[in-house]
Copies of this chain bind each other. A is one copy, B any other.
Amino acid sequence: MIMLDRADRALLEAVQKNNRLTSEELAQTVNLSPTACQRRLKRLREEGVIEADVSIVSPKAVGRSITMIVLVSLERERADIVDRFKAAIRATKEVMIGYYVTGDADFILVITAKDMEDYEAFTRRFFYENHDIKGFKTMVVMDRVKAGFAFPLDL
């Protein structure tokens, strides 16, 4: 595995919250020269430690006011069926997050929809027409208490 020193971790910690900081600003928090920060970030990106750099948009602002969590059980847990379902997840834009899990369900999905009608149309298309699916259980999100993919990095 790639070795990360204290400075790398501090940089990651910072850009996980805000990746538009200038190298000058980063330099202050990390106690390094701007150039060094920049070179390290470049390396972290090349090595894949930083997987992506993205903007987070407000669901409300773009008319995606509803979020659902769906627990999905497949008919059989056979490799080809699982793989086929994974592909369906990746190809479906309404699915924001998809986890393949052990336990009560086989998959857990986070779905966005414009409204209930939109969600219902989605379920019909995505779930009912898929014969690999044994059943699914929907939970409506009332509050997104916390959301992010920021990992705690003990410095």
| Chain A contacts to B: CB under 8 angstroms | 1-2, 4, 9, 12, 15-20, 47-64, 67, 69, 86, 89-90, 93-105, 107-108, 112, 137-153
Contact in complex: B141, A101 (CB < 8 Å): yes
Given A64-B152, A103-B139, 14 more pairs with CB closer than 8 A: A15-B55, A53-B55, A54-B149, A89-B146, A93-B152, A94-B152, A97-B146, A97-B148, A98-B144, A100-B141, A100-B143, A101-B141, A108-B139, A147-B149
B54 to A148, Cβ gap below 8 A? yes
Pairwise interchain contact B56-A53, C-beta atoms closer than 8 A = yes
Q: Please state if B152 and A57 are interface contacts (CB–CB under 8 Å).
A: no
Asked if B52 and A55 make an inter-chain contact with CB atoms under 8 angstroms apart, the answer reads yes
Pairs A-B, 5 closest by C-beta atoms: A103-B139, A93-B152, A98-B145, A100-B143, A15-B55
The residue of chain B having its C-beta at the shortest distance from the C-beta of A102 within the complex is: B140
- From residue A47, how far is it (CB to closest CB) to chain B in Å? 8
